[in-house]
A and B are shown apart, each in its own frame.
Chain A
Amino acid sequence: MKKELVELKINGRTHELAIEPSALLLDVLRQDLGLTGSKRGCDESSCGACTVLVDGVAMMSCTLLAATCQEQEITTVEGVTEHGSLAAIQKAYGDWGGAQCGFCTPGFMMTVKSLLAENPDPSEAEVRSALSSNLCRCTGYSQMYEAIRAAIAAERQGAPSPQ
């Protein structure tokens, strides 16, 4: 298939790329741009490891055509750190054991980020329901709730996570 020029805005930077119209966003991120933080755990939007934010909405990049994301703001896990240090949720996932093997973690980071942007004080049921778009095989999810609670508390204190 013949390649076409597209412009993708990822983590605040604009990239001009020649891609096939059928190219998936996940492949473009991982292979063309070397942004390997987003993971491929399946190929069918069932595991959520490839979750990115498109204009703030959590989307699974493994079934999203890259060419359709032009003129939209794409955020990947590489764009989550704040001021060169860990965002509260990243620090909390580390401290509370929310990440074990870490393969699903980038997807969870994006899902939690979009959840907290919409709803800064979610109930446990709301957290569970939001997290159900992503699968994890290590943690049984329990320690993730603690991490999310801790991150919310840290954000509320206004102190960006102490390094």
Chain B
Amino acid sequence: MSDFSIIGKPTAMIDAAEKTTGGGKYTDDLSVPGMLIGKILHSPYPHARIKSIDASRAEKLDGVVAVVIGSDAPNPYGILPVGHDEHALALDKVRYVGDNVACVVALSEAVAEKALELINVEYEVLPAYFDPEESMKAQTDLIHDNKPGNLEKDYHHAFGNPDEGFAEADHVAEARFIANEVTHAAMEPHSTLASFELNPHTGKLGRLTVWSSTQVPYYLQHKLSLVLDMPMAQIRVIKPLVGGGFGGKSEVIPLEIIAAVAARKAQAPVKITYTREEVFWAHRGRPRTIIDLKTGIKNDGSITCVKARVVQDGGGYCSYGVVTILYSGALLGALYDIPNIQYDGYRVLTNKPACGAMRGHGTVNVRFAFESQLDELAATIGMDPAEIRQRNLLKPPCITVNGLRVQSYGLPECIEKTVERSGWKQRKGKLPKGRGLGIACSHYVSGAANSIIRSDMPHSTVNIKIDRDGGVVVYTGASEIGQGSDTMTAQVAAEVLGCSLARVRVIAADTDLTPIDIGSYSSRVTFMAGNATLRAAEDVKKRIAAAAAKKMNCATEDLAFRDDLVFKKGSALPVVKKDQIEEAEVTQAGASVSGRVEGQILRGSLQQKRKEEGPKEWMTFEEAVVAAIDFHGALTGTGSYAPPQEARGGKHKGAGVGPSPAYSYSAQVAEVSVDEDTGEVTVHKVWAAHDCGRALNPVSVEGQIIGSVWMGMGQALTEEMVWKDGMLMNPGMLEYRSPSAVESPEVEPIIVESIDPEGPFGAKECSEGSLAATIPAISNAIYDAVGVRLHECPFTPERVLAAVRAKRKDKALNLTEGVDPTAPARFREHGGALCFNGKGPQRHALDPARREAPATARGTD
């Protein structure tokens, strides 16, 4: 039945007013009595051994309460069970510029900052590795002693028969693609407030409460328990409002652990909030990825084989790295029908901040390479780029060659709709010179089918409690981070219970109150927490139905719940009767609450009156709830979700990453123009069709599609973390070049609903899948506009201009010639004005911040 009363309608987020009035509290907005401020001392070297730390001068400074160092909490941790390679604060070595060395706890931020300067750390600087392919050759001075060749992990997969696949191909394309490093740059800098209660019996520190900007309270609770040697039951993690995550808050960020360790040492509540620069150092973004890709097709456009060798520049710690490198290979499947796949993935350690999960985890960069190469092959055989994609569709339901189960598959409709809306057939190839259209597709998981902490535990569990006046409280561990998780939960509960949305209150992400949920990442919340909510609501609905059926003398199956009424199916909806009681029907929230607002007395008399009326065709929701509570006592329900066994993937090593109960699909057309004199690319419009199964809240779905496309456009055109000898050159929102309103194109979101058989009401994910298609759609549009195929993103004016001039066989322009001859070539193109000479964080001779500036190097103009 497509006729729903709550879902499918554009709905304002239930916390929207908190956000627009400034009333909502984010972690940094909180304070508790006696709270102290923590500041972290970071490493100035990319790779060094710590010989000694002398904090005695800092400790003596007035206003300093404690100085925390590595030995205060030596237990290792890491987000993945296979990657416990981090410590709260460095024990013996620092592995990137910005690594955490010590933390000062003081009465104020100013005092803490002053104290940081008084800590004396003696380092023995070690040779450092900045390029993954160089790092793999390392014999000595390894970043982690147990990782020979600085190799975090490598995987070698062959599905089908790759050699035969290439032998069958009529055309083969082969190229190297590079996608440079990007980061989440969520608007809210990470923040954590940690506070211990005293044990009532001993007076020593007892339970710990942590408020933190996290996507996964449960993982934070787990890692705190490891590092602090405390049982999880003694730790309460509360997630206040979170100002954006995009994956950057999906793992435990150093300050979350440091704040707790500092609170323990200082014996007082401690809050640490990163500066924007520290957020860039904490990073955990999308790694710089080198992709050697080879694709074979037949003359009819069908793909015979894909071979990818992927090297990821993972930074100094494992983080989510093992998962990232597996996603890069696994999600070569499940979009198109590819019979043979060979994948060699290398996750490499380097002396830079650790990379982790970021929106479209692991798939985005490989998708850029693949979709660009497919476009190239389409041109080779003279086929329309949209058509070659249509020639390679899967035939679901099916299991792909690498063991991924595909059921609902809206890709054909996505392609059809974007082609139609963008006027692809009429306009492609007919636009004026310098202007072009490009198409690309992508997909993403609706939640990983296997949790990173292996167990048989359900991935989501939800409790529902209904109060006597019909108020519904949903307890969920899923984390609202701006994507609309709380609103989705409320909508699903209200839809199942047939009550109005305003009755539903969501209590989320507080480990003392809410059941375990593995959090908001891998786009799992709608599918998994949504299903758990649906089951919890059905559980409690059963009880209400039993009591209502008894009152109405009918079977529970004959009852329907809708619009705050419980009624016999087929009976005329009580429109007239509803009108009679409507006068008293408006509450403060504007919701229609039956039984009315004047409290129990009116409610009692109303019920009495209705009781006297005899057997009924309908009851109000509240009457039914009262009947159920009279019958059962407390009215509660529980539901949980675990992905089905068939959706959990194959048996090969690394098969755990990639499988999902359902995949979302996206197809996009981008229209761009390229200035051939400056190399500047302007995106005019993106048409983005996304198969989200069913749009539970169309406003949110469109917001997520637009946001993903926009973030993809940022990575395609401007965003890039620029490194020089392990030092980040652009740790600020403007320098990083997050696009502003002026640079952002119109995005036309097109919702495609394939109604997944297992999703809640058929819904799948909509927050990540669209991102990956944007980059290749833009690069393919650039090719259409000026005939150059770009192999490295972002497509900055320098790179585009270089490609355009190379195509014209013009003399190559070296825009930064002479600026810093010692800088490696790949850094020079960024201008070099801030480049550093030699190893370590020494400023370039021309940098005005340098105290004595010997004029050795000279700019070109």
Interface residue ranges, A against B (CB under 8 Å): 30, 35-44, 46-47, 49, 76-78, 80-81, 86, 89-91, 93-97, 99-106, 109, 127-129, 131-132, 134-144, 163
Pair B244/A94 contact, Cβ less than 8 Å: no
Pair B20/A99 contact, Cβ less than 8 Å: yes
Contact of A132 among B21, B25, B276, B741 (CB under 8 A): B741
Given contacts A97-B703, A163-B590, contact A142 B747 (CB under 8 A): yes
CA of A99 to CA of B241 in the docked complex: distance in angstroms? 13
Pair B187/A97 contact, Cβ less than 8 Å: no
Pair A94/B706 contact, Cβ less than 8 Å: no
Contacting residues, chain A, for B242 (C-beta < 8 A): 101
Interface residue ranges, B against A (CB under 8 Å): 10, 12-13, 15-26, 28-29, 184-189, 241-246, 273, 275-276, 481-484, 590, 699-700, 702-703, 706-707, 709-711, 732-734, 738, 740-742, 744, 746-747
Pair A109/B187 contact, Cβ less than 8 Å: no
Contact of B188 among A30, A39, A134 (CB under 8 A): A39
Pair A80/B702 contact, Cβ less than 8 Å: no
Pair A44/B742 contact, Cβ less than 8 Å: no
Contact of B244 among A42, A90, A137, A141 (CB under 8 A): A137
Pair A137/B246 contact, Cβ less than 8 Å: yes
Pair A93/B16 contact, Cβ less than 8 Å: yes
Pair A141/B744 contact, Cβ less than 8 Å: yes
Pair B276/A139 contact, Cβ less than 8 Å: no
CA of A142 to CA of B706 in the docked complex: distance in angstroms? 7
The 10 closest A-B pairs by CB, nearest first: A37-B22, A101-B482, A102-B19, A140-B710, A103-B243, A94-B16, A77-B22, A36-B29, A131-B741, A90-B20
CA of A95 to CA of B12 in the docked complex: distance in angstroms? 5
Q: Other than the known A77-B22, A94-B20, A102-B482, what 12 A-B pairs have Cβ atoms closer than 8 Å?
A: A39-B243, A42-B732, A46-B733, A96-B699, A99-B19, A100-B13, A101-B482, A103-B186, A103-B244, A136-B187, A137-B246, A140-B711
7 A-B residue pairs with CB within 8 Å: A35-B22, A37-B22, A90-B17, A101-B245, A128-B744, A132-B741, A140-B747
CA of A103 to CA of B711 in the docked complex: distance in angstroms? 17
Of all chain A residues, the one with the shortest Cβ separation from B713 is: A140
Pair B744/A30 contact, Cβ less than 8 Å: no
Pair A102/B733 contact, Cβ less than 8 Å: no
CA of A144 to CA of B243 in the docked complex: distance in angstroms? 17
Pair B742/A103 contact, Cβ less than 8 Å: no
CA of A141 to CA of B741 in the docked complex: distance in angstroms? 6
Pair A97/B700 contact, Cβ less than 8 Å: yes
CA of A129 to CA of B12 in the docked complex: distance in angstroms? 26
Of all chain B residues, the one with the shortest Cβ separation from A125 is: B742
Of all chain B residues, the one with the shortest Cβ separation from A111 is: B741
CB distance from B656 to the nearest CB of A (A): 30
Q: How many A-B residue pairs have CB under 8 A?
A: 179
Pair B19/A135 contact, Cβ less than 8 Å: no
Contacting residues, chain A, for B186 (C-beta < 8 A): 101, 103, 137
Contacting residues, chain A, for B188 (C-beta < 8 A): 39, 41, 101, 103
Pair B276/A43 contact, Cβ less than 8 Å: yes
Pair B734/A86 contact, Cβ less than 8 Å: no
Contacting residues, chain B, for A38 (C-beta < 8 A): 22
Given contacts A39-B188, A42-B732, contact A101 B707 (CB under 8 A): no
Most A CB contacts (10 A, CB to CB) among B17, B26, B481, B709 go to: B17
Pair A100/B746 contact, Cβ less than 8 Å: no
CB distance from B34 to the nearest CB of A (A): 15
Of all chain A residues, the one with the shortest Cβ separation from B483 is: A100
Of all chain B residues, the one with the shortest Cβ separation from A30 is: B29
CA of A143 to CA of B709 in the docked complex: distance in angstroms? 13
Contact of A86 among B21, B246, B709, B747 (CB under 8 A): B21
Most B CB contacts (10 A, CB to CB) among A30, A41, A106, A163 go to: A41
Given contacts A101-B187, A103-B188, A103-B244, contact A139 B20 (CB under 8 A): no
Contact of A102 among B15, B245, B590, B732 (CB under 8 A): B15
Of all chain A residues, the one with the shortest Cβ separation from B15 is: A102
CA of A119 to CA of B741 in the docked complex: distance in angstroms? 18
CA of A95 to CA of B487 in the docked complex: distance in angstroms? 13
Pair B29/A135 contact, Cβ less than 8 Å: no
CA of A114 to CA of B57 in the docked complex: distance in angstroms? 49
Contact of B22 among A40, A78, A91, A93 (CB under 8 A): A78
Pair A100/B703 contact, Cβ less than 8 Å: yes
Of all chain A residues, the one with the shortest Cβ separation from B188 is: A103
Pair B12/A103 contact, Cβ less than 8 Å: no
CA of A40 to CA of B22 in the docked complex: distance in angstroms? 13
Contacting residues, chain A, for B184 (C-beta < 8 A): 137
CB distance from B270 to the nearest CB of A (A): 16
CA of A135 to CA of B158 in the docked complex: distance in angstroms? 44
Contacting residues, chain B, for A39 (C-beta < 8 A): 26, 28, 187-188, 243
Pair B244/A101 contact, Cβ less than 8 Å: yes
CA of A36 to CA of B28 in the docked complex: distance in angstroms? 9
Pair A41/B733 contact, Cβ less than 8 Å: yes
Given contacts A46-B733, A137-B244, contact A78 B709 (CB under 8 A): no
Contacting residues, chain A, for B482 (C-beta < 8 A): 100-103, 138
CA of A34 to CA of B557 in the docked complex: distance in angstroms? 54
Contacting residues, chain B, for A42 (C-beta < 8 A): 276, 732-733
CB distance from B28 to the nearest CB of A (A): 7
Contacting residues, chain B, for A138 (C-beta < 8 A): 187, 244, 482, 703, 707
Contacting residues, chain B, for A102 (C-beta < 8 A): 15-16, 18-20, 24, 241, 243, 482
Most A CB contacts (10 A, CB to CB) among B12, B19, B700 go to: B19
Pair B276/A44 contact, Cβ less than 8 Å: yes
CA of A88 to CA of B184 in the docked complex: distance in angstroms? 31
Given contacts A39-B26, A103-B244, contact A143 B275 (CB under 8 A): no
Pair A140/B707 contact, Cβ less than 8 Å: yes
Pair B744/A140 contact, Cβ less than 8 Å: yes
Of all chain B residues, the one with the shortest Cβ separation from A162 is: B590
Of all chain A residues, the one with the shortest Cβ separation from B686 is: A140
Contacting residues, chain B, for A44 (C-beta < 8 A): 276, 732
Contacting residues, chain B, for A30 (C-beta < 8 A): 29
Pair A100/B707 contact, Cβ less than 8 Å: yes
CA of A37 to CA of B186 in the docked complex: distance in angstroms? 17
Most A CB contacts (10 A, CB to CB) among B245, B590, B707, B709 go to: B707
Of all chain A residues, the one with the shortest Cβ separation from B733 is: A46
Given contacts A39-B26, A46-B733, contact A99 B13 (CB under 8 A): yes
Given contacts A38-B22, A132-B740, contact A46 B732 (CB under 8 A): yes
Of all chain B residues, the one with the shortest Cβ separation from A1 is: B110
Contacting residues, chain A, for B10 (C-beta < 8 A): 95
Pair A135/B22 contact, Cβ less than 8 Å: no
CB distance from A22 to the nearest CB of B (A): 9
Contacting residues, chain A, for B24 (C-beta < 8 A): 102
Contacting residues, chain B, for A132 (C-beta < 8 A): 740-742
